[in-house]
Structure 1
């Protein structure tokens, strides 16, 4: 018989039920605490999760796989988060809404028990959140610091770049400028901004330096792959690589720095997404060619200029031996001259300063100054570090004609030349074709100059009418013209009496040299251009000088002191251009008749020229341009008396004529001579006896002279000059010069009417010693507004420059009314002692040039803002 211990069983059951009840009651009673602990623990876990996920997002741009344990962990946290949200939501719905004590004990028990399990899982996942790498391979660094040279003088342009990048209205920024000016340095400095600042604005900054000249898409894609650490697979197609780059960059905020772009880069083909407006993503590119920036759709463009003098000198001192300068003033002067010749180009300043760092002798520095432009390759490192890099811009010009036009500027050395003169030289050299209409030639010239400017190879003077080469571009061009230094005598820019050097030369330019004599009978079988301009000490040319120059096409003798041409000038039967401007020549020789191929004859400002033999001008049948402004004025109406006006009429190819007229009869003849009158661009009327009144509004005075750009009235007894007319219909038929000069018109009264001279840009009034009022107003019908009780009249709506000089009796600019010049930029007043009040309104005035004592006593009758213009004392 089995004995049963009912007492023991009862006690066991009692203990088990009691435990269960106790545990259940415990879950129920601790539900609030468990939920609160779960939410706190999950908050910490999610914070850890977000940090690890951020690392994972960064490596996504590599197209590499995440570590499996990382993927499992992230998925586990996400799943746990979903369960936690569900549990908390159920707690809020079933328990929390009942207040402090819920009657739904079963739900409270289940929710509390579940939250405790979730809490344990969260704690376990936190302990496992330690990973050496989140991916199989390390991702690319966000920022890479780059070494940069000195950034002297770069702060202002750097700030401008920062401003453009921060703006939301342009996603592509273009930086352009000549080689060696510091574009790459600027870009590297901008790149390092992110490395130093450790900014969170962008995920990655990518710097891609493109190869010089032509590049292919594969090269750029390979550079992008390398920076992004994408796996390069040879079997991939260009499109597949583009897709990989696009996929990588589309998921991040990036800044792409493209350095040294020579041609338009198709971003789509490479796989680079164009950043959207108001995006942190940006593309910043550098190029020597402004057109490339435009072709890349750069909405913001920055031109990198060469350094101003103070920054240039600081950089030169930094790279050389400043202590030597402080101890030797003579060497310092030579060093400053050398630094100035670098034209503010950082690359040249750095290279030459380093080269001269060890030089201690004054003679060494003087030799350097004398040779920097003529023989720059003498400097160690100059050829490879400066000339070769600059030559890349030359090599990238699209055709040989542009290259030849650029090299031609070396004949002016470091000086600028007026744009209007360039056409004649280029046409004479055959660099651009002849055009029946000179406007076509000027248009072609504008295209060439524009292309050279856009390539950062040509500089424009501040007044925008003169162009030339930067000193270092000029040095490069001269080096190229000499076959990269192999033929040093091919183009010569320094005088030598070594006749062997003359024999080998193709181009000789001896501008601004102190020459008193020239060699006798130099043999120059290949000489095509000879420029002796601005050699003021040269007074005579040897009779036999032109004896052996069979190929000479261009001869420039301007601004010399020669008084005549030798008979040997007739040997130059192939001459196309003869420039004699501002010489002291008194008579043209008969031998000029032999120059039957001459296309350009320059006689401007040859005030001593009194005689031109009969038939000389008429013999020049190929002449396209005759410049005779402020020069010979004794044209005759009959051929037996010397130079005859009919000779001018016989020049059927003439497209540009600047002329000086000394009689009203010739002026009338000129006005009625069509089409020659149409060729007149500049006209000087002087010593014109019998012309007491002149109406520019007259339909007959300057009839057919419709293209007049400059009019000069000089030294005759003109009593009244009427400018403008009374009606709009009449004004359309008037000549409207851009430049009007009134000089030595002692008794002239200038009358202005309400229309005409709409194109006038410059007005000079000089040496009119009896003039008391500049402009008299004689048309009350003109509509105008009033300031106070005085009428305000706009006489010349497009005038930009006004100069009044040596007018001892001038008291007012107008007779009782206020002059308004809405576009006036510069005013010059000199030696006008009685002019102590200005009745003048200007809106765009930039500079006022005058004597200080005169300015101090001046009363400006109309309110003005002096801060808008610069006061320059002369």
Structure 2
């Protein structure tokens, strides 16, 4: 009765209770080595008669009866103890060897993340750990080094119950199952739960996973601990919804690692000279995305006759497409598709996305450019969080992985938004695209194809047209080219040499964004006919004159003349008529401001009428021409250079409020002007250069109310005489050949540099120390010090 359920339990892989095991051992001893065996031996001897079999052996029989009585008593005791209601239990698995990832590659980029995750598991303070990255980058493969889990709530419960040796009744509700799981998990001292590839918020308590190590009285219990690892494509889902305390990003493979993975999949034949071109092509095509390298390599690359990549594996496409579909924001989806219209490898400049997005009306309930900028920043963060965009090389840029871009182009085409590739027969490709009645067209043109535009682009539903050329290729636009696209809202040309704008441009009554960035232009007066224009950009173009006709664009909210080095004439009263301007960019551009109104050029007085201005970037060659009553109360961001015609060339700043004072003989004149004084008080980054006639920078600029947050670049020797900088956050000293120290005993050491975070010193040949010991005590926020080519430097901190 005991042995049968024991045999069944062993077949199921269950563990026997310790009492059952001990009882079975006692029974075995009783049968094979104990009293029973001795009785059988004695009985054999007792059967042998005395006196040649004439009489029974009474002595032996007596001994046998005594032993039999004892054996019967022992057997009865064993039978009584063997009344078990249950003989076995199902144990939780000790290891999960079957879950090990066989395809995990020990690349440096992956091992670092793996080690970081393992290290995080040792931290008892971390309950939830996140791992995120774009689809196919290797999140699942990495976490399979620990375990694997399905994120479906009921399947999670089933798997947890199985691993914990629990069985649910068929009629148990999810809530009841969750309650049982919570109680069961609290019995464990150490539990690791991995939920792989979650797309939406998962209520852990509802599943039955406790949200913290807390006992029934609300007290933390150090003896119980469980850790949860989540993987997702969304950083925000992990951090905001799942409240992960530490997140690890898995990036794409390094080029060398991608090549190693490819060679492992395809074999050593890829190293031969015959295969090398296609090997390089495939690795580049897959963009160092592991899933793409793996699937494309196997399906496309083993064919030795293949010289082309015919397409992307369906699994790769579906994987990335899911990230797009799971975007909750329609605006984020639209911005993603807009990014796909830019050429592959093209940097995604935030200002360009903002301007084109505004022209298309992508942003709902946005009524100012400032609000639109905030919205675009938020949407880009969403796309980065979902691993659909990457950080760019500059602050105002983003990137799109080549694989992601290819999929964005494909999805956009389903929405009738076409990125026309560079093909042999461009006209034929354009004709095929026109037949589909597109709403957006992106057309990258090289030198050879720049002259292949059709006479008339008949696209009545077209809302956006982007044309990109390189090296300012000549672009002949036929005179009737725009007649068939009267619904166009965004027209964006980049780096084109346009001999003349066609007369049909005046037919674009609905265009709201016109960008002619980097273009070589001649006559531009026709632009004045575009009465609905909100955004006009000539950034990096060669225009020499801003004609009177631009003053007719009274709806204009943004005018960008940045880096228009040849611009020398702005007709008077043109800027003043643009009363709705919110953003005006003229840095590294026009500086021929007239001193008085009514002259041959525009004057700074015209800026006084721009009451809605929130962004201003200008160069003012002479501080004396600044109007006294020029006050910019609403400015949120500005870059203003005073004192030099060369303007802001080569000045980089990550702050939104920058002032540059360059080659000024007397800086105190700025404080005599109320408007500039107020701007200086709000400035985050103040750059002083070549102030050769200045005796004491601080004494002339500081009126006792403190100084800007940042103070950098090439200041004169008198910089050493400054008093104190309680708000200074960043300090940069460069090429100060006579500077020996930046601190003296008269500094108020209780406040000096107390907010300093960053200090950079370079090419200061006589500088021996940065700070005194007493000042160093106040550097509680300092986290970065850079020293380059300071040959006399003895100590970073020492006695000054």
Is the pair's TM-score, using the shorter chain for normalization, greater than 0.5? yes
Going from structure 1 to structure 2, the CA distance change for 1:679 and 1:270 (only over 3 Å counts) comes to: closer
Whether the 8 Å CA contact 1:725–1:755 is kept in 2: the answer is no
Corresponding position: 1:694 with 2:626:
no
Residue of structure 2 in register with 1:289 after alignment: 234
Going from structure 1 to structure 2, the CA distance change for 1:740 and 1:52 (only over 3 Å counts) comes to: farther
Shift of 1:143: 3.0
Residue of structure 2 in register with 1:869 after alignment: none
Provide the rounded CA distance (Å) in 2 between the counterparts of 1:800 and 1:420.
Answer: 30
Whether the 8 Å CA contact 2:545–2:567 is kept in 1: the answer is yes
Residue of structure 2 in register with 1:452 after alignment: 383
Give the 5 Å matches for 1:306-317: 306-317=252-263
Going from structure 1 to structure 2, the CA distance change for 1:257 and 1:305 (only over 3 Å counts) comes to: same
Give the 5 Å matches for 1:142-157: 143=96, 145-146=98-99, 148-153=102-107, 154-157=110-113
Give the 5 Å matches for 1:393-792: 393-413=323-343, 414-417=345-348, 426-432=357-363, 442-461=373-392, 466-483=397-414, 489=433, 490-495=440-445, 497-499=452-454, 503=459, 506-511=463-468, 513-514=470-471, 515-520=473-478, 521-523=480-482, 524-533=485-494, 535=495, 538=497, 540-544=499-503, 546-560=505-519, 562-636=520-594, 637-667=596-626, 669=627, 672-675=629-632, 678=635, 681-687=638-644, 691-695=664-668, 698=671, 700=673, 702-705=676-679, 706-709=681-684, 719-720=693-694, 722-725=696-699, 730-732=704-706, 734=707, 736=708, 738=710, 740=712, 752-756=721-725, 758-759=727-728, 761=730, 763=732, 772-773=737-738, 781-784=746-749
Provide the rounded CA distance (Å) in 2 between the counterparts of 1:566 and 1:336.
Answer: 46
Q: Deviations over 1:548-595 (max 9, x none)?
A: 4444333333334x1445333234333322222222221123332233
Whether the 8 Å CA contact 1:721–1:750 is kept in 2: the answer is no
Provide the rounded CA distance (Å) in 2 between the counterparts of 1:484 and 1:320.
Answer: 37
Residue of structure 1 in register with 2:204 after alignment: 267
Shift of 1:624: 0.9
1:236 pairs with 172, 195, 211, which one?
Answer: 172
Q: Deviations over 1:705-753 (max 9, x none)?
A: 1443555667x88522754359998243x5x2647555xx9x9965651
1:345 pairs with 286, 289, 298, which one?
Answer: 289
Q: Secondary structure at the match of 2:340?
A: helix
Q: Deviations over 1:386-419 (max 9, x none)?
A: 2322222222222212222333333554344565
Going from structure 1 to structure 2, the CA distance change for 1:461 and 1:123 (only over 3 Å counts) comes to: farther
Residue of structure 2 in register with 1:302 after alignment: 248
Q: Secondary structure at the match of 1:730?
A: coil
Q: Secondary structure at the match of 2:149?
A: strand
Provide the rounded CA distance (Å) in 2 between the counterparts of 1:412 and 1:526.
Answer: 21
Provide the rounded CA distance (Å) in 1 between the counterparts of 2:297 and 2:755.
Answer: 52
Q: Deviations over 1:239-264 (max 9, x none)?
A: 22323444554555643221111222
Shift of 1:320: 4.1
Going from structure 1 to structure 2, the CA distance change for 1:778 and 1:163 (only over 3 Å counts) comes to: closer
Whether the 8 Å CA contact 2:622–2:644 is kept in 1: the answer is yes
Whether the 8 Å CA contact 1:596–1:622 is kept in 2: the answer is yes
1:255 pairs with 174, 179, 192, which one?
Answer: 192
Q: Secondary structure at the match of 1:388?
A: helix
Shift of 1:756: 4.5
Residue of structure 1 in register with 2:150 after alignment: 209
Residue of structure 1 in register with 2:118 after alignment: 162
Q: Secondary structure at the match of 1:190?
A: coil
Shift of 1:268: 1.8
Q: Which moved more, 1:437-446 or 1:251-260?
A: 437-446
Residue of structure 2 in register with 1:375 after alignment: none
Provide the rounded CA distance (Å) in 1 between the counterparts of 2:731 and 2:497.
Answer: 34
Runs of at least 5 residues in structure 1 that lack an aligned partner in the other structure: 1-47, 61-65, 81-111, 192-206, 212-216, 369-377, 786-791, 805-809, 825-841, 866-874
Provide the rounded CA distance (Å) in 2 between the counterparts of 1:263 and 1:161.
Answer: 22
Whether the 8 Å CA contact 1:478–1:491 is kept in 2: the answer is no
Whether the 8 Å CA contact 1:727–1:755 is kept in 2: the answer is no
Q: Secondary structure at the match of 1:703?
A: helix
Shift of 1:79: 12
Provide the rounded CA distance (Å) in 2 between the counterparts of 1:172 and 1:58.
Answer: 33
Residue of structure 2 in register with 1:84 after alignment: none
Give the 5 Å matches for 1:181-220: 181-191=137-147, 207-210=148-151, 217-218=153-154, 220=156
Shift of 1:655: 0.8
Q: Secondary structure at the match of 1:618?
A: helix
Residue of structure 2 in register with 1:326 after alignment: 272
**TM-score relative to the length of structure 2:** 0.72
Provide the rounded CA distance (Å) in 2 between the counterparts of 1:843 and 1:386.
Answer: 45
Residue of structure 1 in register with 2:793 after alignment: 860
Corresponding position: 1:389 with 2:319:
yes
Going from structure 1 to structure 2, the CA distance change for 1:737 and 1:726 (only over 3 Å counts) comes to: same
Provide the rounded CA distance (Å) in 1 between the counterparts of 2:293 and 2:414.
Answer: 25
Q: Deviations over 1:197-230 (max 9, x none)?
A: xxxxxxxxxx32236xxxxx44544565677786
Runs of at least 5 residues in structure 2 that lack an aligned partner in the other structure: 28-65, 214-221, 420-432, 434-439, 646-661
Q: Secondary structure at the match of 1:773?
A: coil
Whether the 8 Å CA contact 1:794–1:821 is kept in 2: the answer is no
Provide the rounded CA distance (Å) in 2 between the counterparts of 1:419 and 1:74.
Answer: 72
Q: Deviations over 1:94-113 (max 9, x none)?
A: xxxxxxxxxxxxxxxxxx99
Whether the 8 Å CA contact 1:695–1:721 is kept in 2: the answer is no
Going from structure 1 to structure 2, the CA distance change for 1:172 and 1:727 (only over 3 Å counts) comes to: same
Whether the 8 Å CA contact 1:606–1:632 is kept in 2: the answer is yes
Provide the rounded CA distance (Å) in 2 between the counterparts of 1:385 and 1:696.
Answer: 67
1:379 pairs with 291, 306, 311, which one?
Answer: 311
